[in-house]
Structure 1
Amino acid sequence: MTTPLPNIAGRHTLRAATGLLLALSACTVGPDWQKPSLSIDLAYNGPVGAVAPSRIAQIAFDPAWWRIFNDPELTSLEERAATSNLDIAIASADFSASQAARRIVAADQYPSSDANASYARERASPNGVLGLLDTTGSQNTATVANGTPEFGPAALPGSSGSSAFDLWQYGFDASWELDLWGRVRREVEAANASVEMSADERRGALVSVQAETASDYFQLRGLQSEIAIAQQNLGLARHSLALTQIRLSNGATTNLDVANAMAQVHAIAATLPPLQQQEAQMVNALSFILGKPPRALTAELATPTPLPPVPPVIPIGFPSELAAQRPDIRAAEAKLHETTAEIGVAVADFYPRITLSGSLDIQALQFGGLDTWASRQYGFGPTISMPLFQGGRLRGTVKLRKVQQKKAAIAYQRTVLQAWREIDDAMTAYNAAQNQRTQLQEAVGQNHIALAAAQSEYAQGAADFLNVLEVQNQMLITQRDLIRATTDTDEALVSLYKALGGGWQTTFPSLRATGAPPKTLSLATD
C-alpha cells in the first residue's frame, strides 16, 4: 500500500497566492496626504499715540467670546441664533448630505448581494434560435433520434415548435471588487475629507452668524443711543427757543434769534425719523437672524440700553491655534486633502479591476420543483477588466486631478494669508476706534462747558445767539461721533474674534427639531 505524499507544492502556491493578494490589497496608488504646515506671527505692537484703555493679550479665550461684554440680552440672542438661524440649518443639511454621500462611497468596500425571484410563462420561437435545433421527438426526452438536443417540451400533435411552459426561479447573487490598488480606499478617503470640509463650512456659518448677531446688536444699541442724544439736544434747543422768546418779549432781542432757534428745533427733530427707521431695520435684521418674522423682537429690544464697554484685557489666543480655530482654513485644508486623494482614484483606473462574483439559483418548470436541491444552478468566479484604449481619457483625468490639487493648495495659501490680514486689520481698527473714542470723550466734555457758557452769556446779553447755535450744533455732532466711535470699537472687537475663528466649538449646537421655517408667517403691523 502506497501512502500518498502531501501536496506541499500546492500548499506553498496557495500561501504565496494568499500573501500576494494581501500585499496587493494593502497597496494604495497615488500621493499620500501630508498635512500642510502653518506658521503665522500675530505681531501686536500696541496702539499708536495714547495708550488705549483695552489691550490685546495672547492668552486663551472662551469660544463664547460675546460673554466678555457682560450683556445678558446679547448672550440670549447668540444662543438662540445658534439653534434657529436658517443659514446654519442649510449648512447642517449640506453636512448631512455629505455624510450620506460618504456612506454611499464606503459601501464599495464591502460585498454586495441581491436576492431575486421570478416566474415567467415562455414559448420559444421555432423561427428564432430554436430553428437551429430539431425540436421533434417525444416530450421529456433529452435528445431526439438524430442526437440533437430538444428545446423545451415537445410539440403537441398537429402543431409545430415547442409548447409554452412555466419557468419558476429564485436565488441570490453576490459580487465584491478586490481593492488591490486602493481605488475604493482613496474614494473613501476623499469622501471623508469632503465630510470634514462640509462640517467646517457649517462651523463657518455658525461663526459668521454669531459675529453678525453681535454686530447688528451693537448697531441697534448705537442707534438707540443716537436717538437719545438727539432727543436730549432737542430738549436743549427747545429751551433755547423759549429763552429767545422771553428775550423778544422783553425787547432784548429780535425775531432773528427766535427764527434761528425755531430752525434749530426743527433741524434736530428732523434727525430722529431716519434714526428710528434704521432702528426698526436693525430689529428686523436680528429677527431674521433668529429665523423670526419682521418686528418679532420689537418689544424685547424696545428699551434702550447703553453700548456695553469692552474689557480691559482682550484675549486672542495663540497663533499656533489659528488653524484649529478658523473654519475656512480647516475647510481649505480638507479640500486639499480631498483633491489629493482623488489623484489616487484617477491613477488606480489604469490598473486592472478584479471582481469576485457568484450566484445560486433554484430553477424548475413546475412550482413543486422549487424545493428540490436537484433544481439548483450556480456559477462563480473572478472577472478581470483592464482598460486598453480610452482615447486619452484616463491620462486627462489624472492631469485634471493634479491641477485641481494645485488649485486647492493655492486656495489654502490664500485663505491663510487672508486670515492673517483680517486679524491684523481688526487689531488695528480696534485700537484706532479706542483712540478716537478717547479723544471724542474729551471733546464732548468741553462741548458741555462751552454750551453752558454760551447760554449764560446770551442770557446776560453778553453774546450773540449765533454762538449758542454754533456750540450746540458742534456738541450734537461730537456726541453723535462719540456714539459711533463706541459702536465701532465694539464692532471692531467682533470682527477680531470672527477673524480668529471665535465661536468654534467642539460640540455643535443642536438645531430645532425641523430646522425649517414656520409654515405661516404672521406679519405685525402698526
Structure 2
Amino acid sequence: MSTTRSRPLAVLLLASAAPVLAAALSGCTMGPEYVSPLPPIVESKSYLDNGAKVKSPLKVLAGTTSAEPDAQWWRVFRDPILSRLEARVAEQNLDVQTASLRLRESRAQLGTAAAAALPTVNSASNAYRMQYSQNGIVSLIPSSTFGGGGTGAGGGTGGAAGGSAASTLGNPFESYTAGFDASWELDLWGRVRRNIEASEAMVDASAEQRRSTLVSVLAELARDYVQLRGIQEQIRIQEANAKVNQDILDIVRTRAKGGLVTGLDVASASQQVEGIRANIPQLQQQETQAVDAIGLLLAEPPLTLSQELVPSKAIPPVPPKVPVGVPSSLIIRRPDIRVADAQLHAAVAEIGVAEAEFFPTVTITGSPQFNALDPNKVFRGNSLQYMNVGPSISIPIFDGGRLKSNLVLVQARQQEAAIAYQKAVLQAWHDVVNALAALKGDEGRRAFLQRQVADARRGLALARTRYTQGVDTFTTVLQNSQNVLGAEVNLSQATANISTDFVALYKALGGGWETTFPDKPVPPLDLAAVTVPQGDLALKPDAP
C-alpha cells in the first residue's frame, strides 16, 4: 500500500487547502469602514440659544433647565394611576410586541448571515440493494478482466469466463455507505464579513425601532390620560355651571311669581340651564372613548379600565422645573436617530458586499465516505474513499453589467441613508424647539385665562346682585354667566394643553427608555370572553 493512501483524510484536506487558507488569513475587506457621523448641529447651552444676534421670543423660557431629563418622565406628574399604566405598556402594548418580534426576526437573519462564515457539513449515508442486468452493460465486459481467456477446447474457456463474469455481476448485492459532504467558502475579500456587519447593524436598527415604538406609545398613553382628565374637568365645569344657572333660574322664578319680572326672563334662564346640560352627554361620550383609547394601548377589552379611570381626577400639573438637556444629547436619547445611524451603517457595509462580488470566490469542498459491500467492514480504514477534495475557484467574467449596476444601487442607498440620518437629527432639534414654543405659548395663554376667569366670576356675582336689586336687566346676568362658562372651559383646555405639550416635549427629547421587554407576546384577545355592561353605556348620570 502506498504512503499516500495511508495518510489521514484531515492531513490531505489541510495539505490541499493550505495555500488558500494562507490567502484567507491575509485577505482584505472591501468597502469603506463605517464611522458614525456627528450630529449636524451646533453645540450650545440650550435649544433656544443658537448664537444668533436676533433676539428670539423663546430666548428665555421660564421653568426649563439644561439638566438631563429623567427617562421615566411621567413620574414628574406625581399621578400614581398614570405611573401604573405606563409601567404596563412595555409588556402589554401590541405594537411593542410586534416590534419585539421584528427584532427577533433580525437576529435570526443575523444568524443566517453568520453561518456563511463557517463550513457547511451534511451527512451522506445510505444502504441499498442493487442488481445489474446480465444482458446489459455487464455483457460487454471482456472475460480477460477476470483473468479468463484460457486455451480450452475450441476456445470455449474465454467464453465461459465471460459468461461467468456476467453471471457474477448480474447477481444481487448490497452496498453500504457512510460519510459526509463538506464545503467552506473562504472569505478572501470580506464579502461574508461585510454581510454579517450589515446584519448586525439591522439588528441594532430593529432594537432601536422597538425602543422608538415604546417611546411613542408611552407618550400616546400619557397624552390620552391628560385628555381624559381634561374631559372630566370640563364635565365638572359644565355641571358646576349648570348648578349655578339653576340657582339663578330659581331666583328668576321667585321674582316672576312676585310680578317683578316677566316670563321672558324665566325662559332665558331655563334655556341657559338646558343648554349647559346638553353639553354633558357629549363630554361623557368623549370620556368613554378616552378610557377605551387607553385600554387599546394596553391591549385590554373595551371598558375594562372604566372602574380605574372613570372617577374624576385633576389634570396632571406640569412641574415648575423642566429639564431638557442640550441638543448634542439628542443623538444618545432619540431612538429614531439611532435607527437612522444603524441603517446608514448597514448601507455602508452593503457597499463592501457589492464590491467583493467582483472578485473570485474560493470554496473548499470534499466528500469523504466509507463504502463496503459488507456492513461489518464499512468503517475499516481500507473502506475509505473520497472525491472532489480541494479548492474550487469561480471567477466572474461576464454578467451583462449586473455587478456594476448592483454597486451603483447600494452606493445610492448609502447616500439616501446618509441624508435620512441628517434629516432625523435636524427633525429632532426642530421637534424640541417646537414643543418648547407650544409649552411657552400655552403657559402664557393660561396666565391670561386665569385672570379672565377671575374677572368673569366677579362680573357674574355683581350682575346677580344688581339684578336682584332691580338695578340691571337679566340680559346682563345671562351674558356674564356665559362669559364665566366660556372662560372656565378655555382655562381647562389651556391647562390640559400645557400637560400635553409637556408630553410632546419629552417625546421629542427621546424620553421613555425601557431596559426590559417581554420575550413572549401575551395571548391573543378572547373575543368570546369580552362582556359589555348592560344598559346605558354612559359612565356618569346626567346632571339633575
Q: Same fold (TM over 0.5)?
A: yes
Q: Tell whether the 8 Å contact from 1:360 to 1:377 is kept in structure 2 after alignment.
A: yes
- Does residue 394 of the first structure (1) align with residue 403 of the second (2)? yes
| Distance change (3 Å), C-alpha of 1:162 and 1:473 | same
Corresponding letter in the other structure for 2:48: Y
Quickly say closer, same or farther: Cα 1:275–1:145, change in 2 above 3 A. Answer: farther
Matches within 5 A, 1:23-172: 24-25=26-27, 27-41=28-42, 42-44=46-48, 48=57, 54-124=62-132, 130=137, 134-135=140-141, 137=143, 154-156=165-167, 162-172=170-180
Q: 2-side partners of 1:285 and 1:137: how far apart?
A: 92
Partner Cα distance (2:30, 2:340) in 1: 23
Would the aligned equivalents of 2:134 and 2:167 in 1 still touch at CA under 8 Å? no
Alpha-carbon distance in structure 2 between the residues aligned to 1:126 and 1:342: 60
Describe how 1:237-248 pairs up with structure 2 within 5 A: 237-248=245-256
Which moved further from structure 2: 112-121 or 391-400?
A: 112-121
Aligned residue in 1 for 2:518: 511
Counterpart Cα distance in 2 of 1:318 and 1:465:
57
Q: Is 1:449 aligned to 2:458, yes or no?
A: yes
Q: Report what 2:210 is aligned to.
A: 202
Deviation at 1:372, TM superposition (A): 2.8
> CA 1:44–1:253 in structure 2 vs 1: closer, same or farther (change >3 Å)?
same
Cα distance in structure 2, aligned partners of 1:47 and 1:488: 23
1:461 aligns with 2:475: no
Describe the superposition over 1:4-34 as per-residue Cα deviations: whole angstroms up to 9, x where unpaired.
xxxxxxxxx99x9589525533x10111112
Distance 1:23 1:359, change over 3 A: closer
Q: Cα gap change, 1:375/1:441 in structure 2, threshold over 3 Å: closer, same or farther?
A: same
Write the letter of the residue equivalent to 1:511.
P
With 381-390 and 323-332 compared, the bigger mean Cα shift is at 381-390
CA shift in 2, pair 1:225/1:430, >3 Å = same
- What does residue 486 of structure 2 align with? 477
After superposition, give the CA deviation of every residue in 1:273-332 in whole Å (9 maximum; x if it has no partner): 111000000000000111101111000011111112211110012222111111111001
SS in 2 for 1:173: strand
C-alpha separation in 2, matches of 1:82 and 1:361: 54
Aligned CA-pair RMSD? 2.7
Contact 1:39 1:320 in 2 (8 A): no
Kept after mapping to 2: 8 A contact 1:83/1:512? no
The percentage of aligned residue pairs carrying the same residue is 40
Which residue is equivalent to 2:262? Answer: 254
**CA distance, structure 2, for counterparts of residue 50 and residue 346 of structure 1:** 49
Cα deviation per residue 1:247-284 (whole Å; 9 max; x = unaligned)?
11000001100111111111001111111000000000
Give the structure 1 partner of residue 415 of structure 2.
Answer: 406
CA contact (8 A) 1:86 1:516 kept: no
Q: Secondary structure at the match of 1:363?
A: strand
Q: How does 1:352-371 map to 2 (within 5 A)?
A: 352-371=360-379
Provide the secondary structure at the position in 2 that maps to 1:156.
helix
In the alignment, which residue of structure 2 is the partner of 1:375? 383
Deviations 1:103-162 (A, max 9, x none): 11101111221222112233456898x48x823549xx6577599xx99x94339xxx84
Matched residue, 2:541: none
Quick one: structure 1 residues 335 and 127, their matched pair in 2 at CA, closer, same or farther if it must change by over 3 Å? farther
Paired with 1:275 and 1:179, the residues of 2 have a C-alpha distance of 67
Maintained 8 Å contact 1:89/1:516: no
Residue 189 of structure 1 is matched in structure 2 by: 197
Shift of 1:48: 4.6
Whole-angstrom CA distance in 2 between matches of 1:98 and 1:30: 23
Give the distance between the partners of 1:17 and 1:367, measured in 2 at CA.
38
C-alpha separation between the residues in 2 aligned to 1:51 and 1:255? 56
Tell me, in whole angstroms, the C-alpha distance in 2 between the residues paired with 1:403 and 1:127: 66
- How far residue 102 of structure 1 moved from its aligned partner, in angstroms, is 0.3
Provide the rounded CA distance (Å) in 2 between the counterparts of 1:327 and 1:296: 32
1:428 corresponds in structure 2 to: 437
Corresponding residue of 2:275: 267
Query: What's the TM-score once normalised by structure 2's chain length?
Result: 0.86
Q: Which residue of 2 aligns with 1:21?
A: 23
SS in 1 for 2:185: strand
The C-alpha deviation readout for 1:186-206, integer Å capped at 9, x for no partner, is 000000000000000000000
CA 1:340–1:460 in 2, change beyond 3 Å: closer, same or farther?
same
Alignment gaps of 5+ in structure 1: 1-12
Of the candidates 226, 241, 244, which is equivalent to residue 234 of structure 2? 226
Q: 1:21 to 1:127 in 2, by over 3 A?
A: farther
What secondary structure does 2:313 align onto? coil
Give how far 1:167 is off. Answer: 2.1
- Cα 1:255–1:84 change in 2 (3 A) is same
Q: Which amino acid aligns with 1:35?
A: S
Q: Give the conservation status (yes or no) of the 8 Å contact 1:244–1:261.
A: yes
| Aligned twin of 2:538 | none
Q: Distance in 1 between matches of 2:135 and 2:500?
A: 86
TM-score (norm 1): 0.89
How much does 1:524 deviate? 2.3
Secondary structure, in 3 states, of the residue corresponding to 1:415? Answer: helix
1:419 maps to which of 416, 423, 428: 428
CA distance, structure 2, for counterparts of residue 255 and residue 369 of structure 1? 119
Distance change >3 Å, CA 211–CA 112, structure 1 → 2: same
| Partner SS, residue 378 of structure 2 | helix
> 8 Å contact 1:325–1:500 — kept in the other structure?
yes
Measure the CA separation in 2 of the matches of 1:176 and 1:224: 68
Q: Show CA shifts across 1:345-390 (max 9, x none).
A: 0111111111112222111223233243222101321111111111
SS in 1 for 2:26: helix
CA contact (8 A) 1:154 1:163 kept: no
Name stretches of at least 5 consecutive residues in structure 2 with no aligned partner: 1-14, 50-54, 151-157, 535-544
**2:47 counterpart letter in structure 1:** A
Provide closer, same or farther for how the CA distance between residues 69 and 347 of structure 1 changes in structure 2, counting only shifts above 3 A: same
Asked whether the equivalents of residues 24 and 187 of structure 2 are also in contact (C-alpha less than 8 Å), the reply is no
- Give the C-alpha shift of residue 43 in structure 1: 3.0
Secondary structure of the residue aligned to 2:176 is strand
Cα distance in 2 between the residues matched to 1:436 and 1:300 = 32
Cα-to-partner distance string for 1:31-90 (whole Å, 9 max, x where unaligned): 1112111143453269959987x5211111210011111111111110011221110000
Matched letter for residue 82 of structure 2: L
- Cα distance in 1, alignment partners of residues 481 and 178 from structure 2: 96
